[in-house]
Chain A
Amino acid sequence: MPLGPVCVAWVCWVVYQTAAYVPELDALLVSWFVVLGAMAILSLFCRKQIKNLVKECRKVVEARYLVVNLPRLSVLELLYYAFFFLIFLLVFYQILSLPFLENDSQEYVLVARHILSNGSLAAYPVTDTVLSGGLYAPSSHPPGYVMLLVWSFLTSGGDSLLHVRLASAFHFVGLLIIAFGLRHFRLREVAVAAFVMMTTPLVISMVVGYHVDGMRLMLFLAAVIWTALAIESCDLKVVTVAGAVAGFAAFSHSIGLLAIGFGGISILAFWRGRLVLRLLPAAVFGAVAVAVGGYQFVENTVVLGAPLMDAPPVFVDEAIGYTADLWARRDIDLWADKFVYGVARAWFELSIFGLGYWAFLYLLVRNWLAGQINKDLIVILLWIFSFFALSVMTVLLGSELIIKNPRYALTTAPLVAIFVAGCLRSCRGRLQ
C-alpha cells in the first residue's frame, strides 16, 4: 500500500516518456489501467506479506493495542504516547498549513508544471528556457517525485498543491508504519522506530518543507526491508519484488541508486549457500531494479557521460568560480570539518539529527557484545555502514558529493530508527 503513489508516478513517467513519441495517448486513462495491473501483479507476488501488513495496519487503525492496554500503561508510557501524538499532529498540521518555502519543493513543482504543460518528458531536464518561460532546471535526477506531482496536477486541475501535501502526508505515514513488514516488528517496535524518526528534526522539516523527502526516505527504507525479507525467505519471487522496490527508490531520487547497490551487496553477503549461488538472486535483484528505476541513470550515462550529472556549464566555468564559492559557503574546507561536520554530522549536529544516532551507537555496541543482533538488523546495519563507508571513501578521494548536504546523511535516519527499535526489542523480553 505505501508503494501506491510511486507506482502511480512510475506509470505516469512511462506514459509521459511514451507521449514524447505518441502525443495523442490518453495519459490519465492508461495510467489507471497500468496502476491497477501493477498492483494486481504485486499482490500476486507477495500475498503473505501484504496480508501481514494489512493485519498490522488494521491494528493501528483500530488502536486496539493502545485502547485495550491504556489502563495498564505506566505514566512514562502515557507520556511517551502523548509526545508521539503531539508530534504526529504537529507534523500533519504543518504539512497542510505551511507554504512552499524551500528551494527543492518549489523547483519540483515548477518542473512538474512545465512537464504537464508540455505534455511529455521530451522537455526534461528543463534547459529550453524559451519553451519554459525562463525556468532553467538542468538537474537530471530521476523524475519519480516530479511525475507524482504531474499526476496530482493531472487529477486536480494543475493549480492546487493540496495533493502534493497529501502525498507528503501519505509517505510520512508510510515511513512510520512500513516497518511492520519486518518479521519481528509489532506495534511497539514500530512505535519506537516511529518515535525515533519523528524526533529527528531534519526528517520532520524535510517532510513538511521539502515534501520529496517523505517519498524517498520511505522507499529507501522499503528497499532495505524488502531486501531483508528476500534474504530471509530465500525466494526469487520476493527478490524480484525487492528489486522493484529498490528500483522505485532509485526512481524517486538520485540517492536511491544506493539502494540498488546496497541491496545487491546484502544479497551477496547473506544469501544462503555458496557465493556462486548467490550471484543469481543478486543479478535478478539488480536487473529488476535497473529495469524499474535505472532508465534516467542509463540515459544520463549515454547522453551526459555519467549516471549523475548536476553541473550546468555555468557551474564549471572557472572565471565564475561557482564550485569554489560553494565549498567555502558549505564550510567544509578542513579535513576535520569534512569528517566531523561531513561524514559524522549525524552525531554532531544534534539540532537537526536529534539523539537517534547516539542511541544507535550505544545499542549497537551493547547488543553486539550481547550477541543480540538478528539477521534483519544485520542487513539494516550493513546498509548504514555501507553509506558511511561510502561517505568516507568519497571524502578520501577528494569528493564532497555525499557530505555536502545533510539531507543525504538523513537517508540513513529511518534505518537507524528501525535498528534502535529492533535492538530495544531484543534486549527487553517484555517487548517480545
Chain B
Amino acid sequence: MIRGLCVLALLGLAANWVLLQSAVRIVNYSNIAAVFSGDERAVIHQPRKEGGAVYALLEELHRPGDQTLVFGQSDFGFYGTGSWIDNFDEALLDLYRVQSAEEMYDRLKDKGVRFVFLPGYTFSTFYNTRVIDVLGDPRFAVPLESHRGFRLFELRDQPANYSCRRVDLMGKAPSVYEENAPTALLTRALELAVPLPIPRRGRTLALDAPKMFLQQAEQIEPLVDRPRWFSTYKQVYQRAGVVFGGSMGLPPIEPELFIRANESVLQITLALESEAYLEVLLLEHMRGGKQSTTTLADGLLGKRGQPLTLQHNLDSNVESLQLMVLAPKNPDAVLTVSNAELCFLEIEPAQLDTQSVGQKSQPNLSLLERQLMDTTMSHRFSWSPNDRRCTTSGHTECNDLVLLQDNTLGHARFDPYPDIPVLYNAGMIVSDETLSYLAYDASLAVARIQAWIRNQSDSRVASVADAIFGLFLSNPIDPQEPTIAYDLRFDSFGSADAIIQAYVSWRDDEGEVRVVYAGDVSGASFDGDPVRRLQTLLPAVVTSPNLVLVVSGSHVAVTSASLVPAYQ
C-alpha cells in the first residue's frame, strides 16, 4: 500500500511539470479556430502574445517601401509587416562601425529604414553599436509602442529639437534589490561553508543580506560599501542590483518619479561599469496598482565604455516609475554606477495626430484627477495575515503602529514628520471596533482576490478564474438592488512609498459581513491637496457602513477619514 502510494506520488511528480506547463501554454496561447481557419497571425491580437500590439501598430503605420531594422528576425518575419533588415545581416557590418549617432541615423535613413523593432532582449549589435544612441536620442527616434518587452521605434524624417524635465537620480536614495527567497539564504550559507564557487543561475545577491555575507563580501572586494548617496562619491556594488527611487514592488518615494500630465516619453541616461551581464529594467507603476516591468537593455552593458541612452514610451496608465539595474548572473559582479539621469518628454503637438495610434489618448489631467477617475475594481495585492491593524476613530490611537527601526539596509530613511504617527509597512484602520477581525479577514480576502482577478485584464487565466469564482461567491451587491453612491474621503500625507486601499463593509439583514472594494490611492500628497477621494456604490438599505483602510508600504499618515452619501 505504502509502496503503491509512493509510486503514485512519483508518477504525479513526474507528470506535474508537463501538465502545468501545458496548461499554461493552452490557456495563454491556444487558438484552434485560428489554426483551422489558416489565420496564423491571429495570435497578435491575443494580449498574451509578446509584441502583439507592436505588430498591430506596425501593420497600421506601414507604408510601401518602409524598411524595418529588426533585432528578432524570426518573430518579426512571421508576424510583422513589410520587408526588413536583420541585425545579423553581414551587409550591416560597415554600418556598425560608424562612430556617431548622427552618422548612424543618416546611414539608416539612406537604407530606407523607418522603423526599428526590438524583442524582449538586446544583443550586442544593439548596445555595442551606435544603434542604441540613435534610438535613445529624441532628436532621431520616437518610441512608438511597447508590449510585453517588444518595442517599436520610428526614426524621425528629420532630426528634431526637444526639451524635457530632467531628474538626476544620483542624489536620490537608491535601494538595494533584496531577494528574500529562503533558497537564496541557503545558497549564501553554503557559500560561506564551502570555499568553492557555488554555481548559480539567474539570481541576484543583495548587499542587505545577512551580516555574514557582508563581511565575506568586504573581504573579497574592499571597495564595497553600502550605497547611500550617489552624489558624494562613486558607488561600487558587489553582487547587487539597485533600484532607483525606493523599494522594488512599491511606488517610488521620490515625487519627481511620478509622471506629469502629457509626459509620454522617457529618456534614460546611465553610466555603468561592470564586467558582468547586466539588465536595465523599468518598473512602471500603473494606475490601480498594477506593475509592468520592461527590459530596456541587457547584456555586457558595463563594458561598453560609454553611457547608455535609452528611450521608452509611457503608457497613459503609468503613474510613476522606478529604474533598476541588475547583475543577475555573474556571482562576482561588481557594478559601478557613475551617472543616472531621467528625462521626461512631453508629447509634441505635431505628433499627436500621427502617433495617436501608438500613444493611447492621454487626457490633460492632474494625477489627483486621474486618481479620482479611477473607480474601477483596482487593487494592489499586498495583504497578509501579518498586517498590523488597529481600530480607531482618529490617528492618535494608532501610535502602536509606528515602527521606528528601518530594516531596509541601504535605504535612506525618509521621515519628515517626526511628530505625527507614521504607519510603517502595513496597517488597517477600521472604523467599527465591534466587528470581528476574522469576518473581515475572510471577506476582505475574498474581495481582494476578486478585485485582483478582475484587474488582470489581459490574463485569460484570470478571466477563467473570475468565472469560476463567480459560481461560488455571490456579489456583495445584488444587481437588482437599489444603490446609493458614497464618497470616501480621507486625509493622508507622507511619501508615495505606500498604497492606501479602501473597502466598505456592512452587515446585511442576516448579520453577514459584506465588503466592497472602493479603490486605492498612493500615499503621497500631490498638488498640495492632502484629501483622497474615492466613490463607491452601496445598497440603499445600508445604514451604517464602515470604512476600512489598508495601508501597505511605509511612511504615510492617515489623519482622518469619512464615508458619506454623495448627495450630502
Which residues of A are at the interface with B, using a C-beta cutoff of 8 A? 74-76, 79-80, 83, 86-87, 90-91, 93-94, 96-101, 103-104, 106-107, 109-110, 127, 129, 133-138, 159-162, 165, 195-196, 198-201, 204-205, 208-209, 312-315, 317, 319-322, 324-325, 328-329, 331, 333-334, 336-337, 340-341, 350-352, 354-356
Contact = CB atoms under 8 A, between A and B. Distances in A.
B330 interface: yes
A83 B12 CA distance: 8
Contacts of A91: 22
B500 interface: no
Contact of A325 (B11, B21, B78, B124): B124
B124 A127 contact: no
Contacts of A98: 25-26, 29-30
A204 B22 contact: yes
Given A127-B90, A321-B128, A328-B299, A341 B199 contact: yes
Given A76-B4, A94-B30, A106-B75, A134 B83 contact: yes
Contacts of A129: 85-86, 89, 91
Contact of A354 (B14, B125, B198): B14
B29 A99 contact: yes
Contacts of B29: 98-99, 101
A378 B467 CA distance: 54
A104 B78 CA distance: 11
A314 B92 CA distance: 8
Contacts of B21: 201, 204-205
A345 to B, nearest CB: 10
Contacts of B87: 314
A326 B202 CA distance: 15
Contacts of A351: 17
B346 to A, nearest CB: 35
A325 B8 contact: no
Interface size class of chain B, counting residues whose CB lies under 8 Å from the partner chain: 35 or more
8 contacts: A76-B4, A93-B30, A96-B32, A98-B25, A99-B29, A134-B85, A320-B124, A331-B202
Contacts of B74: 103-104, 106-107, 110
Contact of A315 (B26, B42, B86, B88): B88
Contacts of B343: none
A209 B21 CA distance: 12
Contacts of B200: 337
B35 A134 contact: no
A176 to B, nearest CB: 14
A160 B40 CA distance: 8
B14 A165 contact: no
B190 to A, nearest CB: 12
Of A91, A127, A334, A350, most buried by chain B (CB within 10 Å of CB) is: A334
A99 B86 contact: no
B299 A355 contact: no
Interface in B516-547: none
A99 B49 contact: yes
- Secondary structure at the A interface, as helix, strand, loop or mixed, is helix
Nearest to B34: A99
A279 B201 CA distance: 46
Contacts of B57: none
A321 B19 contact: no
Given A74-B4, A110-B74, A196-B14, 6 more contacts: A129-B86, A135-B77, A204-B21, A314-B88, A328-B299, A337-B199
Find the residue from A99, A109, A205, A329 having the highest chain B CB count within 10 A: A99
A118 to B, nearest CB: 16
Interface in B1-37: 4, 7-8, 10-15, 17-19, 21-22, 25-26, 29-32, 34-36
Nearest to A75: B4
A337 B331 CA distance: 11
Contact of A336 (B32, B34, B91, B197): B197
Interface in B57-84: 67, 70, 72-75, 77-78, 83-84
A321 B18 contact: no
A352 B20 CA distance: 12
B347 interface: no
Contact of B13 (A74, A100, A201, A355): A355
B276 interface: yes
B281 to A, nearest CB: 15
A127 to B, nearest CB: 7
B123 interface: yes
A320 to B, nearest CB: 5
Contact of A329 (B77, B89, B91, B277): B277
A313 B90 contact: yes
B420 interface: no
Interface string B83-103: 111111111110011000000
Contacts of A317: 93, 96
Contact of A94 (B22, B86, B88, B300): B22
B428 to A, nearest CB: 38
B38 to A, nearest CB: 5
B96 A331 contact: no
Given A97-B30, A136-B73, A314-B90, A162 B36 contact: yes
A397 B79 CA distance: 41
A331 B7 CA distance: 35
Contacts of A90: 18-19, 22, 26
B77 A319 contact: no
A312 B7 contact: no
Contact of B329 (A134, A328, A350): A328
B483 interface: no
B186 interface: no
